[in-house]
Amino acid sequence: MPELPEVETIRRGLAEFLTGRTVVGVQVLHPRPVRGHVGGEDDFAVTLTGRTFTTPARRGKYLWFPFVDGDALVAHLRMSGQFRLDPAGAPLARHTRVTFALDDARELRFVDQRMLGGLTLSAGGAALPSEVSHIARDLFDPELDLDATVAAVRRRTAPIKSVILNQRVVSGIGNIYADEALWLARVHYGTSAAALSEQSVRRLLHQARAVMTRSLAAGGTSFDALYVNVNGSSGYFSRSLNCYGREGDPCPRCGTTIARERFGGRSSYLCPGCQPPARLA
DNA sequence: CTGTGGTCCTGTATGC
DNA sequence: TGCATACAGGACCACA
């Protein structure tokens, strides 16, 4: 469920307390989240013990935790993953899957209801894990080439929403911020990306970055307990959403009733007034 | 290569 | 009170 603003909120929360800490013990409570580790769960625990964290990093929705030895722990939260930092011995949250005891009497805990997320040790992955290298830079990345990204979007003939959700084209955008950006830019989700002008794509990406910036300032979007910060607190941005989750409400811009439509196997929220389908050419 | 749809999971809400 | 079904902030993989 977490998209860029939520993952970045978590990264910042972890950076404060994880940087410089050493792992003194690992417990794998459920094997599924470490399924990507070839050596199995026991080896995962053994090989991570004794390592010292440097500053956590992020690209799009991927997180990784570089160690001083040059390796990294790669994490993806998928739909329901969370990280929590708690005093050692504090009660475990429901669905806690892996715990890392730290040398300051705290624990880093990976919690994941649906277990679609995962943790992997990436050998030599401190700077950029190979598991992340296929992911495009995100809209917050200072090294993002915006012109090239605009061109890459317009090279696609798929519906624009599919293209901005494609993490190989531009990363970090998920279902909420895709719908919000499309609403802000007044673009219908089904419009072929190739049919949009360069200026339209530029505007759309600008709005995507803008809405994610505002969300980050609010600590991200929480609909329920499935997204919380590392200390268990919720984000406040859901109240600022213009269309996502607002089926039946009036459009804040024109008053037309917000619609929910099925697209690509998931829900899309849009204003039929502000975002009419593109005219067939 | 590009686009699409199924699949991995658990839990909750809703309808009969 | 069951029980079935739909749906959920994501990404990978097989297939046309």
Judge whether A91 counts as a catalytic residue: no
Residue A206: other Cβ atoms inside 10 A? 15
Q: Which pLDDT score is estimated for A226?
A: 86
State how far the Cα of A104 lies from the Cα of A15, in Å rounded to an integer. 15
Q: Which pLDDT score is estimated for A190?
A: 97
Listing DSSP states for A59-90 in one string gives ETTEEEEEBTTS-EEEEE-TTTEEEEEEETTS
Q: How far is the CA of A264 from the C1' of B6 (A)?
A: 12
Q: Which stretches in chain A have pLDDT values below 70? A: 279-281
Q: Which pLDDT score is estimated for A57?
A: 98
State how far the Cα of A96 lies from the Cα of A28, in Å rounded to an integer. 9
Closest CA relative to residue A211, chosen from A2, A1, A10, A4? A4
Q: How far is the CA of A157 from the C1' of B2 (A)?
A: 9
Q: How far is the CA of A258 from the C1' of C4 (A)?
A: 29
Catalytic residue, from A155, A214, A266, A277: name it. A266
Judge whether A161 counts as a catalytic residue: no
The answer to pTM > 0.85 is: yes
Catalytic residue, from A11, A21, A61, A109: name it. A61
State how far the Cα of A11 lies from the Cα of A45, in Å rounded to an integer. 22
Q: Which pLDDT score is estimated for A279?
A: 65
Q: Which pLDDT score is estimated for A281?
A: 41
Q: Which pLDDT score is estimated for A225?
A: 85
Q: Is the CB of residue A30 inside 7 Å of nucleic acid strand B?
A: no
Quick one: which residue's CA is nearest to B4's C1'? A264
Q: In what order do the strands lie in the sheet with A57-59?
A: A57-59, A62-66, A72-76, A118-122
List alpha helices for chain A, DSSP H.
4-18, 40-48, 146-154, 160-165, 175-185, 198-217
Q: Is the CB of residue A255 inside 7 Å of nucleic acid strand B?
A: no
User: How wide is the angle at C-alpha A141 spanned by C-alphas A144 and A235, nearest 5°?
Assistant: 140
Judge whether A2 counts as a catalytic residue: yes
Which residue type sits at A230?
V
Judge whether A180 counts as a catalytic residue: no
Nucleotide nearest to A265 (CA to C1'): B5
